Amino acid sequence: MHHHFNGLKTAALFGAIIALLLAVGGAIAAATGNALFLWLFALIGVGTTAYGYWNSDKLAIRAMRAYPVTEAQAPAIHRIVRELSERAGQPMPRLYVSPTQAPNAFATGRNPANAAVCCTEGILRLLDERELRGVLGHELMHVYNRDILTSSVAAAIAGVISSIGQFLAFTSIFGGSDEERPNPLAMIATALLAPFAAMVIQMAISRTREYDADEDGARLTGDPLALASALRKLEHGTQRAPLPPTPELQNASHLMIANPFRAQDVGRLFATHPPMADRIARLERAALQQR
């Protein structure tokens, strides 16, 4: 199993998030003259991160209104996932189906022993069994590479930074006299830029993980072209049947194998997923190298 320097990438990205959090905390302390707020937001960050980590599977499953499926109800999914789990030497995850026609799939859970894999009814109709196997291999590698932990913590920290930005915006407007606010323009700039920076870092974490899961998933299944074919179908299928961009689904969108929203609703910079054309090209190159 190839890890793509995941530890180094994660450390660098989390270092950037923590540095941003400290910078924003310093701005609050300077603006209010009280370090209490820094500790308050730090505690909120720890609490949010812990909650997201322990409940990531429940939150995503609930957002997609998914239901558990038995082997009798979904024999193909159970057969594929059991085979791939045994090949990887990992426990069998819980399996769910979401009652939506939007074609997509995602994995969640804090570790392989507490993982869940979910397919939508739309993707089960859209893909053949070979393509579905490629998708499930991709999702299982997210679990095995501990991507769920990384993305959940990144999302939690980004949310805390966004909350701090909102607090700064409020303080810059209603924080008292000009003498009590050393630099209101700097505070406004921080309030606007901090959530933006946190979101960009979070997107970077999510996008690099998709490339890694594509490569490792294709290696697990031994069939890169199956996943490439599935991604090609999903690119068109998600545009024909997108999910509504509700807050709950937006919070879960980074877990899905394909961006579930309309392309015009998400710019390239803010996309949680790399371009499909790039992902497909990489998989096709990997197939050529196998020959």
203 in Cβ contact with 123 (< 8 Å): no
95 in Cβ contact with 81 (< 8 Å): yes
Look at residues 208, 190, 209, 160 and name the one whose alpha carbon lies nearest to residue 18: 160
pLDDT for the residue numbered 69 = 97
83 is catalytic: no
Question: 0.85 exceeded by the pTM?
Answer: no
Which residue in 71, 129, 139, 180 is the catalytic one?
139
pLDDT for the residue numbered 117 = 96
Give the CA distances from residue 118 to residues 73, 205, 260, 266, 276, in Å, rounded to whole numbers and listed in that order. 14, 21, 14, 23, 21
234 in Cβ contact with 257 (< 8 Å): yes
108 in Cβ contact with 115 (< 8 Å): yes
pLDDT for the residue numbered 174 = 46
Give, for all 291 residues of the chain, the pLDDT tens digit. Answer: 455 555 565 566 566 666 666 666 666 666 666 667 666 666 666 666 667 667 666 778 988 999 999 999 999 999 999 999 999 999 999 999 999 999 999 998 878 998 999 999 999 999 999 999 999 999 999 999 888 766 666 666 666 666 666 666 665 544 544 454 445 555 555 556 555 655 555 555 567 788 999 999 999 999 999 999 999 999 999 999 998 877 777 767 778 899 888 765 544 444 667 889 999 999 999 999 887
Q: At what angle do helices 129-144 and 184-221 cross, to 10 degrees?
A: 130
Give me the half-sphere count of Cα atoms (radius 13 Å) on the Cβ side of residue 10: 17
